[in-house]
A and B are shown apart, each in its own frame.
Chain A
């Protein structure tokens, strides 16, 4: 009896250890490792297109872009990753600054407008997203402000929502600092805080709060509304592209190849696949983002990229996040 009682936990432990080692990692020769800040439902069909075309397998680690960027930084040259696919330019820029990315060849860089790639050619944008003002049905079109800077108006007190932890909003503020100057950015942030801007965790809760009429307006990326409308054509939120000032800045999701990769040629082939007409069209259809390769049509329900009033600034410069965070903290926006 006693013996049996002792054997049970021992057997359980042995089974567990067996399980642990069985799940160990194995280095496959024809397998690419991808770190993705984009979520599986969006990315995996695109990965499948590459796998079908190349015969290579891809193992994908999903996480949020900044955490994955931090992970790659800590891994350094020992990173198992061959590729990093990020939601925002800032995360790619952070990895580039550590010197961990491979310079992309000219044929890849030529496919996408210079605005949507790293200045040094270390990563490339795959799809674009625009900063917009989402508004609820209770707001009349004529009331909408022609610039995000006017959201500090008394009229919108307590009625605007944003997600200050969101990389896209931070990128927007960086652009504001670069183009309109530090003072304008500071005044705007102070004005927003004084105007009781409602703080949310991320873009989706902002959109949902507009839908529930908790707030009238929300500063988010365009595709969140497009996605919701694809699910429900009567979704009670509309999108406004403000024409003035920084208007509806376009930011990008993108991909880079790690310099430490042992499968560089295949990794580059993966990047080419992401920029192929097939995959670009897939992204446009599924996630309602702007394809960045010329000749691929944007989702027809979106304002064409060319018509979006977006300032011509170097996205790579959006990397000065530290200054932006400092300003946001000083003004109480974060």
Chain B
């Protein structure tokens, strides 16, 4: 019943011109960071080659890829059971669990890493608690792996919950009727349908790991992105940094090609008549206790532990006085910039996803892949690219909120593209075609048929952008209007001065702002229609 997609069956599907035009605009916008790298590399091409063609580059890329693969695998291993439990089982408190288990995404990785070092480091709180002199070191690969896994698995969990909720239960029922056991059904029917969502989330995790600087830096793991930062920090390394950035873009393209394979393997909508209905929750019975224990363990390590340390610091901080006015302003700024970025990226992503899923062609593939470049590149590159282009072609807009929002939107565009693509894959094109056949225009179809059906994907995508934009630092520091402090820049100011305890309250406020959208999203995840 999962039929191969046969584009030729629908004739040559050409995208409407308006859609294609919009797609090219979005693609060009998303390509700016990569274009900037090209400009910077061309400045001194031979120096760029020298910088890249070294054994060190190969070694660092191997290390970074190794970390990315390990974290992605672990994130998937954590997210799959969590998604299934919170969507398809009768686990008590599913919505609460779904919200709690997604929240770790909002903890900036440098704060998360620092919290882990304070708690579990050789001389951390746990060592004090156990009364031992020194715990084994968590620095290096182990620490970076643990921290990044714990703060990125929600990137898989969110699209996966959406996909599970939209999945047509009749397939599983058919398989069960034909005598397959529950495990067999999961392996042969459920898992293949989830592959695009797992792939989409997995790519995001891998790219996040490749572009992360905060966690690897604090965990003392020598990664490729850390090298790019070092090149920038030296103040002379523009060309070198850009050349290294280009390598990251190439790695991203390879990763993405792999993901495209997973995704295009099959169509995921019903091809038989009938409409989809929500699945019945699976009764866990006595399995509910181990299931609860699993959710609780993940939540304890990824959320309760860091939040506990933050709360402890916050209480110390509160006793020495708070600047409530500044906290309120910064919260509003964070909310404003992140919400605007989420809307902008959401709109852009709908265009990209429609083009790449409904009208796959060479051009639309390029548009989609270019979009991922902004996400694979470290934030500092995206920020400098916008500095470069805005001061040259749009000076009056420079250092306005509009440019910051634009930067955040192109930086996080893929976060919105992938859930929307996965949800589009589950919408039968026949529905859209029927509407076209009945005389509706392409835009009317988009509005009345496609949009409602992929609404959960769009919301999920926009929410992911929102959550990332909330904690974004390098672009906010360089591009925001002067004085436009956010919670993330507040956290940065405090930590750069060593006032880790003073960073606790803005960090907690980040979590507070993120919780309501996550809660709403979690309800979307469990109601299938």
Partner-B contacts on A (CB < 8 A)? 13, 16, 19-21, 23-25, 33, 39-42, 59-64, 66-71, 73-76, 78-80, 90-91, 93-94, 97, 165, 167, 170, 199-202, 204-205, 207-209, 212-214, 224, 227-228, 321-322, 325, 329, 334
Q: Which of A19, A69, A91, A213 contacts B123 (CB 8 A)?
A: A213
User: Known interface pairs A24-B402, A78-B391, A322-B237. Does A71 touch B343 (Cβ–Cβ under 8 Å)?
Assistant: no
Q: What bracket does the count of chain B residues touching chain A fall in? A: 35 or more
B172 to chain A, nearest CB (A): 33
Q: Which of B339, B474, B484 contacts A16 (CB 8 A)?
A: B339
User: Known interface pairs A16-B339, A73-B238, A200-B220. Does A40 touch B493 (Cβ–Cβ under 8 Å)?
Assistant: yes
B140 to chain A, nearest CB (A): 10
Contacts of A63 in B (CB 8 A): 477-478
Q: A62 to B483, alpha carbons, bound, how many Å?
A: 9
Contacts of B484 in A (CB 8 A): 23
Per-residue CB proximity of B467-486 to A under 8 Å, as 1/0? 00000001001100111100
Contacts of B478 in A (CB 8 A): 61, 63, 67-68, 71
B36 to chain A, nearest CB (A): 9
Q: A39 to B477, alpha carbons, bound, how many Å?
A: 12
Inter-chain contact B496/A64, CB cutoff 8 Å: yes
Given contacts A59-B483, A61-B482, A80-B398, 17 further A-B contacts (CB under 8 A): A13-B343, A20-B400, A20-B402, A24-B401, A25-B398, A61-B399, A62-B493, A64-B233, A66-B232, A66-B234, A69-B235, A74-B391, A78-B398, A165-B229, A199-B220, A321-B234, A322-B237
Main secondary structure of the interface of B (DSSP, over half): helix
Inter-chain contact A165/B398, CB cutoff 8 Å: no
Per-residue CB proximity of B372-415 to A under 8 Å, as 1/0? 00000000100110011001100100111110010000000000
Asked whether B236 is an interface residue with its Cβ less than 8 Å from the other chain, the reply is yes
Q: A62 to B214, alpha carbons, bound, how many Å?
A: 18
Q: A165 to B226, alpha carbons, bound, how many Å?
A: 10
B40 to chain A, nearest CB (A): 9
Q: Which residue on chain B has the smallest CB distance to residue A329?
A: B56
Inter-chain contact B481/A25, CB cutoff 8 Å: yes
B282 to chain A, nearest CB (A): 33
User: Known interface pairs A24-B400, A25-B481, A69-B235. Does A16 touch B343 (Cβ–Cβ under 8 Å)?
Assistant: yes
Q: Which of A21, A94, A199 contacts B236 (CB 8 A)?
A: A94
B418 to chain A, nearest CB (A): 22
Per-residue CB proximity of B203-238 to A under 8 Å, as 1/0? 000000000000001101000000001111111111
Asked whether B340 is an interface residue with its Cβ less than 8 Å from the other chain, the reply is yes
User: Known interface pairs A33-B482, A201-B217, A334-B230. Does A20 touch B401 (Cβ–Cβ under 8 Å)?
Assistant: yes
Asked whether B287 is an interface residue with its Cβ less than 8 Å from the other chain, the reply is no
User: Can you list the 4 inter-chain pairs with the closest CB atoms, starting with the nearest?
Assistant: A94-B235, A204-B498, A212-B123, A66-B233
A227 to chain B, nearest CB (A): 8
Q: A165 to B122, alpha carbons, bound, how many Å?
A: 22
Per-residue CB proximity of B484-501 to A under 8 Å, as 1/0? 100001000100111000
User: Known interface pairs A25-B482, A39-B493. Does A74 touch B387 (Cβ–Cβ under 8 Å)?
Assistant: yes
A137 to chain B, nearest CB (A): 14
Q: Which of B400, B493, B498 contacts A23 (CB 8 A)?
A: B400
Q: Which residue on chain B has the smallest CB distance to residue A207?
A: B498
Inter-chain contact B235/A59, CB cutoff 8 Å: no
B138 to chain A, nearest CB (A): 12
Asked whether B120 is an interface residue with its Cβ less than 8 Å from the other chain, the reply is no
Q: Which residue on chain B has the smallest CB distance to residue A60?
A: B482
Asked whether B509 is an interface residue with its Cβ less than 8 Å from the other chain, the reply is no
Inter-chain contact A165/B391, CB cutoff 8 Å: no
B68 to chain A, nearest CB (A): 21
Q: A265 to B123, alpha carbons, bound, how many Å?
A: 52
B329 to chain A, nearest CB (A): 12
Inter-chain contact A25/B56, CB cutoff 8 Å: no
Could you give 8 example pairs across A and B, Cβ below 8 Å?
A66-B234, A66-B235, A70-B238, A165-B230, A204-B497, A214-B123, A227-B498, A322-B234
Inter-chain contact B234/A16, CB cutoff 8 Å: no
Q: Which of A80, A91, A94, A97 contacts B399 (CB 8 A)?
A: A80
Q: A323 to B22, alpha carbons, bound, how many Å?
A: 47
Inter-chain contact A165/B233, CB cutoff 8 Å: yes
Contacts of A325 in B (CB 8 A): 230-231, 234, 237
Per-residue CB proximity of B56-72 to A under 8 Å, as 1/0? 10000000000000000
Inter-chain contact B235/A20, CB cutoff 8 Å: no
Asked whether B121 is an interface residue with its Cβ less than 8 Å from the other chain, the reply is yes
Q: A79 to B398, alpha carbons, bound, how many Å?
A: 10
B275 to chain A, nearest CB (A): 22
Q: A64 to B497, alpha carbons, bound, how many Å?
A: 11
Q: Which of A20, A70, A212 contacts B384 (CB 8 A)?
A: A70
Inter-chain contact A19/B400, CB cutoff 8 Å: no
Q: A93 to B234, alpha carbons, bound, how many Å?
A: 11
Asked whether B336 is an interface residue with its Cβ less than 8 Å from the other chain, the reply is yes
Q: A33 to B235, alpha carbons, bound, how many Å?
A: 21
Contacts of B56 in A (CB 8 A): 329
Contacts of A20 in B (CB 8 A): 336, 340, 400-402, 405
Q: Which residue on chain A has the smallest CB distance to residue B236?
A: A322
Contacts of A207 in B (CB 8 A): 498
Inter-chain contact A16/B336, CB cutoff 8 Å: yes
Inter-chain contact B238/A59, CB cutoff 8 Å: no
Q: Which residue on chain B has the smallest CB distance to residue A6?
A: B447
Contacts of A19 in B (CB 8 A): 336, 340, 401
B225 to chain A, nearest CB (A): 13
Q: A272 to B432, alpha carbons, bound, how many Å?
A: 70
Contacts of B231 in A (CB 8 A): 325
Contacts of B387 in A (CB 8 A): 71, 74-75
Q: Which residue on chain B has the smallest CB distance to residue A42?
A: B497
Q: Which residue on chain B has the smallest CB distance to residue A23?
A: B401
Inter-chain contact B388/A16, CB cutoff 8 Å: no
